[in-house]
Amino acid sequence: MIKWKDEYSLGVDIIDEQHRKLFEIAGRAYDVLKDQFSIDKYDDIIAIIDELKDYAVYHFETEEEYMQSIGYRKFLSHKVMHDDFIQNINKIDLRQVDENPEKHLLEVLDFIIKWIDGHILGQDKNYVM
Ligand SMILES: [Fe+2]
């Protein structure tokens, strides 16, 4: 499973701490996915999606405040990406999760991994350079 590495560190403590939390949520999603003994994963999956939503809003606020505090020039285009993320999580139709929980869990994992690999290593690195 995806593990924290030094290269993910931006050197801004509060943001690194929050990114680690994202790894934690990804780890939990992975555990639920590979748990063969759990028959009904619906509640676990909904809990993970809910947590991810709350966390994303909270974390992006922190990042956006930080970017503004250092006068980051590409703040607006970065914020657009954050808003897209939130929109994508909100697009998950919770009623459909019950019909195919594993498929949705995979989607959530895929989403978090893209966030970690694409966004943190790509865009987030830019505002600390
Ligand atoms: Fe970001």
Rounded-to-integer distance, Cα 8 and Cα 44, Å: 27
pLDDT of residue 82: 94
* Half-sphere exposure (Cβ direction) of 65: Cα atoms closer than 13 Å: 9
CA of 95 to the centre of ligand 1 (A): 29
CA distances from 25 to 47, 50, 111 (A): 10, 11, 12
| Residue 63: band (very low, low, confident or very high) from pLDDT cuts 50, 70, 90 | very high
- Burial of residue 32, with CB atoms counted within 10 A of its CB: 0-12 exposed, 13-18 middle, 19 or more buried: buried
Domains and CATH numbers, the chain: 11-127 (1.20.120.50)
User: pLDDT digits over 68-96, tens only?
Assistant: 999 999 999 999 999 998 998 888 887 88
Q: How far is CA 107 from the centre of its chain?
A: 12
CA of 70 to the centre of ligand 1 (A): 14
In the chain, what percentage of residues exceed pLDDT 70?
99
CA of 53 to the centre of ligand 1 (A): 15
